[in-house]
Structure 1
Amino acid sequence: MIKLSDKKGQAVAEFVLLSGVFLMVTMGMIDYGMYLFTKYNFENAVRNGARTAVKMRNWSANQVENTQKIKDSIVYDCNRLPTTWKSGLANNVIVIFSPDVNNINYIQVKIDNYKYTSITGFVDLCIPSTLNAQASMRYTY
Structure 2
Amino acid sequence: MDIQRFVRDESGVAILEFAIFATLLLLLVFGTIDFGRALFTSNNLTAAAREGARYGARLPNPGSQRTAIGDTTASKMSPFGNVAVNAASQVVVSCLPNANCTGLQAIQVQINYPFTWLTPLPALMRQTLTPTLRARATFRWEGS
**Structure 2 residue aligned with 1:37:** 40
Secondary structure, in 3 states, of the residue corresponding to 2:118? Answer: coil
TM-score for the superposition, normalised by structure 2:
0.76
- Say if 1:128 and 1:7 are closer, same or farther in 2 by CA, change over 3 A: same
**Structure 2 residue aligned with 1:117:** 116
RMSD of aligned residue pairs (Cα, Å): 2.4
- Say if 1:89 and 1:58 are closer, same or farther in 2 by CA, change over 3 A: closer
- Say if 1:89 and 1:68 are closer, same or farther in 2 by CA, change over 3 A: closer
* 8 A contact 2:97–2:104 mirrored in 1: yes
Amino acid at match of 2:75: Y
**Structure 2 residue aligned with 1:50:** 53
Secondary structure, in 3 states, of the residue corresponding to 1:57? Answer: coil
By percentage of residues, which structure has more strand? Answer: 1
The correspondence for 1:82, drawn from 80, 83, 88, is 80
**Structure 2 residue aligned with 1:95:** 93
* 8 A contact 2:74–2:86 mirrored in 1: no
1:52-87 Cα distance to aligned partner (Å, 9 max, x none): 001111335xx1xx2111111121122x22222166
Deviating beyond 6 angstroms after TM superposition, the runs of 4 or more aligned structure 1 residues are none
Q: Structure 2: which 5+ runs fail to align?
A: 1-8
Q: Does 1:18 align with 2:4?
A: no
* 8 A contact 2:30–2:119 mirrored in 1: yes
1:14-49 Cα distance to aligned partner (Å, 9 max, x none): 222211210111101111111111011001100000
Amino acid at match of 2:38: Y
- Say if 1:87 and 1:96 are closer, same or farther in 2 by CA, change over 3 A: closer
* 8 A contact 2:106–2:139 mirrored in 1: yes
> Which structure has the larger Rg over C-alpha atoms?
2
How many residues of Structure 1 are paired with residues of Structure 2 in the alignment? 129
Percent identity, aligned pairs only? 29
Amino acid at match of 2:39: L
